[in-house]
């Protein structure tokens, strides 16, 4: 599917099939100052996470660590993952529910504590991923590089997991930023993103270590409950771009790119591992389609809805298995019966 789209696109734009030249992308700025700025920012952000995590692993094998450090790790993991799933993804990228300004600040701040750039960058990149899933123009496909060239499985996995941070392709906010670039909450969060980095990596875990363990636990909690926790959350989130487009099952095969469903990934990402379901219905607030498809963030959303903190929560369409074993929309089965009754 990806190949057909790319070939058609190249043909229409007079680009040689074998050319290695940078190709124009719809909604992508290639190179220039925007590309350099992206590389500089991600080099600082991810460089600090990597060095901090190496120090954390060294600390774990050199000194004793205990419940103070690891409770900070777990609490941070929950805050960051819920922020990413409900903030970055289901609210700001897909607007799958509505909420108040204070809740937008809270979800956005929790998301930015993951230090995966700002709401503005994350959500515009993600919208582009959906618009061109596994086709030329995708931000992070394991099947193509940043410029839409076919790539080997190994290089593709690297590109979709980590490499896309360091390419010089930037999502054009004027095309993918509807409802974001003109939202003061999003712009404030974007401007203050460096403060959230310091808060997440140092201040929050530092205060946790001081409050529950005393001065002796401040450095160790910053390393394990700050740097290492953020690095682990990043790897698991990135697995949705790489792993979840290569390994797993496919309930839907049309209009989903190569997205897959994975039970284990869904547990780790609080529901985001039902990625095949999600590509089929990106605006739905819930990604699990069957009772056993656990979607922790979806259950949290139900609770927030009951508390009146979110509303207009978009439901997942109901699917059933047809007699031939295919998953079909429940109302498709009803429609012919109704037609018969009305005839
Ligand atoms: Zn995807
Ligand atoms: Zn999405």
| CA atoms of 318 and 329, how far apart (whole Å) | 6
| CA atoms of 56 and 223, how far apart (whole Å) | 5
19 C-alpha to center of ligand 2: Å?
Answer: 31
Whether residue 131 contacts residue 141, with contact meaning beta carbons closer than 8 Å, is answered with no
> Pick the residue with more confidence: 258 or 194?
194
Q: What's the pLDDT at 6? A: 44
Instruction: Report strand pairing: 169-171 vs 319-321.
Output: unpaired
202 C-alpha to center of ligand 1: Å?
Answer: 32
275 C-alpha to center of ligand 1: Å?
Answer: 6
69 C-alpha to center of ligand 2: Å?
Answer: 32
Secondary structure (DSSP) of 14-36: T--TT--S----TTEEESHHHHH
The phi, psi pair for 246, rounded to 5°, reads -130, -45
Ligand number, closest to the Cα atom of 260: 1
137 C-alpha to center of ligand 1: Å?
Answer: 13
Sequence-ordered list of residues with C-beta below 8 angstroms from that of 73, at least 6 positions apart, any chain: 224, 225, 228, 229
> Pick the residue with more confidence: 7 or 234?
234
What does the radius of gyration of the chain's CA atoms come to, in whole angstroms? 21
| Average pLDDT score, the chain | 87
Ligand number, closest to the Cα atom of 84: 2
**At residue 343, does pLDDT exceed 50?**
no
| CA atoms of 193 and 219, how far apart (whole Å) | 23
pLDDT digits (tens, 9 = 90+) for 188-204: 999 999 999 999 999 99
Q: What's the pLDDT at 322? A: 77
Structure tokens belonging to residue 90: 């289901």
Average pLDDT (167-173) is: 88
**At residue 13, does pLDDT exceed 60?**
no
- Assign 174 a pLDDT band (cuts: 50, 70, 90): confident
182 C-alpha to center of ligand 1: Å?
Answer: 26
Average pLDDT (15-43) is: 74
Average pLDDT (302-329) is: 86
- Assign 9 a pLDDT band (cuts: 50, 70, 90): very low
Q: What's the pLDDT at 18? A: 52
- Assign 11 a pLDDT band (cuts: 50, 70, 90): low
**At residue 110, does pLDDT exceed 70?**
yes
Whether residue 113 contacts residue 80, with contact meaning beta carbons closer than 8 Å, is answered with yes
Distances (CA, A) of 204 to 22, 70, 218, 221: 43, 14, 10, 9
Break the chain into its structural domains and give their ranges.
30-316
Q: What's the pLDDT at 264? A: 92
Structure tokens belonging to residue 149: 């060239």
Ligand number, closest to the Cα atom of 257: 1
Q: What's the pLDDT at 5? A: 42
pLDDT digits (tens, 9 = 90+) for 147-163: 778 888 889 899 999 89
Q: What's the pLDDT at 300? A: 97
284 C-alpha to center of ligand 2: Å?
Answer: 10
Ligand number, closest to the Cα atom of 244: 1
Instruction: Assign 147 to helix, strand or coil.
Output: coil
Ligand number, closest to the Cα atom of 125: 2
Average pLDDT (253-272) is: 91
48 C-alpha to center of ligand 2: Å?
Answer: 27
**At residue 334, does pLDDT exceed 60?**
no
Ligand number, closest to the Cα atom of 126: 2
> Pick the residue with more confidence: 270 or 4?
270
200 C-alpha to center of ligand 2: Å?
Answer: 24
pLDDT digits (tens, 9 = 90+) for 48-98: 999 999 999 999 999 989 999 999 999 999 999 999 999 999 999 999 999
**% of the chain at pLDDT higher than 70:** 89
Structure tokens belonging to residue 204: 């929050």
């Amino acid at each position: 599917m990806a190949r057909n789209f790319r070939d058609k696109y190249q043909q229409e734009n007079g680009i040689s099939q074998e050319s290695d030249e940078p190709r124009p992308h719809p909604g992508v700025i290639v190179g220039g100052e925007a590309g350099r700025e992206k590389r500089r920012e991600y080099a600082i952000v991810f460089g600090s996470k990597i060095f901090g995590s190496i120090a954390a692993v060294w600390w774990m094998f050199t000194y004793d660590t205990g419940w103070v450090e690891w409770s900070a790790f777990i609490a941070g993991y929950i805050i960051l993952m819920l922020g990413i799933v409900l903030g970055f993804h289901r609210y700001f990228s897909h607007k799958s529910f509505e909420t108040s300004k204070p809740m937008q600040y809270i979800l956005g701040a929790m998301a930015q504590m993951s230090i995966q750039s700002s709401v503005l960058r994350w959500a515009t990149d993600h919208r582009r991923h959906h618009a061109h899933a596994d086709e030329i123009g995708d931000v992070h496909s394991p099947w193509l590089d940043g410029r839409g060239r076919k790539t080997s499985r190994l290089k593709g996995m690297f590109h979709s997991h980590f490499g896309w941070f360091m390419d010089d392709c930037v999502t054009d906010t004027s095309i993918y930023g509807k409802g974001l670039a003109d939202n003061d909450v999003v712009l404030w969060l974007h401007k203050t993103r460096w403060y959230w980095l310091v808060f997440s990596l140092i201040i929050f875990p530092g205060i946790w270590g001081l409050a529950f363990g005393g001065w002796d636990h401040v450095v160790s909690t910053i390393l394990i409950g700050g740097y290492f926790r953020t690095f682990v959350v990043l790897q698991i989130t990135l697995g949705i771009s790489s792993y979840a487009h290569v390994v797993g099952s496919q309930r839907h095969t049309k209009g989903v790119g190569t997205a897959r469903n994975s039970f284990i990934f869904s547990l780790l990402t609080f529901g985001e591992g039902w990625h095949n379901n999600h590509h089929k219905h990106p605006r739905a607030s819930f990604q699990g389609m069957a009772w056993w498809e656990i979607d922790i963030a979806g259950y949290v959303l139900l609770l927030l809805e009951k508390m009146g903190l979110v509303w207009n929560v978009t439901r997942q369409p109901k699917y059933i298995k047809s007699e031939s074993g295919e998953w079909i929309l429940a109302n498709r089965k009803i429609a012919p019966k109704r037609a018969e009754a009305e005839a």
